[in-house]
Amino acid sequence: FFSLFLPSNIGGDLARTVDLGLHTKRRSLIAASVLLDRLSGFIGLVIVALSALFFGFKLVNEPSVLMILLLFAGILIAVLLVIFNNAIYRWLNRLLHAKKGIFDVIRKLHAEVYFFRSKPAVVCLNIFYSIIIQAGASVSSYFILRSLKVNINMVYPLIFNPVITVITSLPISLGGLGLRDAATVFFYAKAGVPKDIALAQSILNFTIILVFGLIGGIIYVSTLRYRRLQSHQTNSPV
């Protein structure tokens, strides 16, 4: 919901962190859970895209797409190593001569995220859900294109949509508007989809996102009073 009118998913994550932080004293844990949720989503994106590329490499013989996916995979591996490998994390701290201030916040956040290393079932389940969601979004795009009379192989949405999602997540536009459309037109042109059809698909995709976002907003507003009362009861002395 918040991502619809804030700078992309990052703005939505910040709003979610602030809102949840108001209802608990463990704000670093809330920030860590939101970060891990976003990281799980990124893992799901990379897995879906690379899996589709593996089976459809001959179909999508485009070096730029391959380079982008390899870049995403490299960034993901680097982030996971820093977060879940204490030796690499300590080495990076020494390399950057980390001091107090903002680095204290980063250390607390790292400690909270690192805690989830002892909860592999939770992490794996979150990644599994992310894969299902990302694959489902790609399948949705496929059927939208088919409804627009475009005969396209399923491999294309499974590869292109994760890349488009990452680009849309850049916090340089409200709700990803403009970025989503431009990226959709650019990538689907490589599959022979006309620009007007690709743009129509992007708009229809955003319409679906808007509908679900508004439903989420209604649920958020309708449960706000209950969550505040629950938080007050939890924080009140017995």
In angstroms, the CA 51 to CA 46 distance is: 8
Q: pLDDT category, 194, cuts 50, 70, 90?
A: very high
Share of residues in the chain with pLDDT > 70 (%): 73
Give 174's strand partners: 7
**Whether residue 196 has pLDDT greater than 90:** yes
Which residue type sits at 71? L
- Confidence at residue 233, expressed as pLDDT on a 0 to 100 scale: 52
Closest CA to 53 of 180, 192, 129, 161: 161
Q: What are phi and psi of 46, to 5 degrees?
A: -65, -40
Secondary element (H or E) of residue 155: helix 155-168
Q: pLDDT category, 23, cuts 50, 70, 90?
A: low
Residue range(s) defining the domain that contains residue 199: 2-235
- Confidence at residue 171, expressed as pLDDT on a 0 to 100 scale: 67
Number of H helices, E strands in the chain: 9, 0
The two structure tokens encoding residue 165: 């999602």
73-85 mean pLDDT: 83
In angstroms, the CA 46 to CA 42 distance is: 6
- Confidence at residue 238, expressed as pLDDT on a 0 to 100 scale: 43
The two structure tokens encoding residue 19: 């809102």
pTM score, whole prediction? 0.73
The domain total for the chain is 1
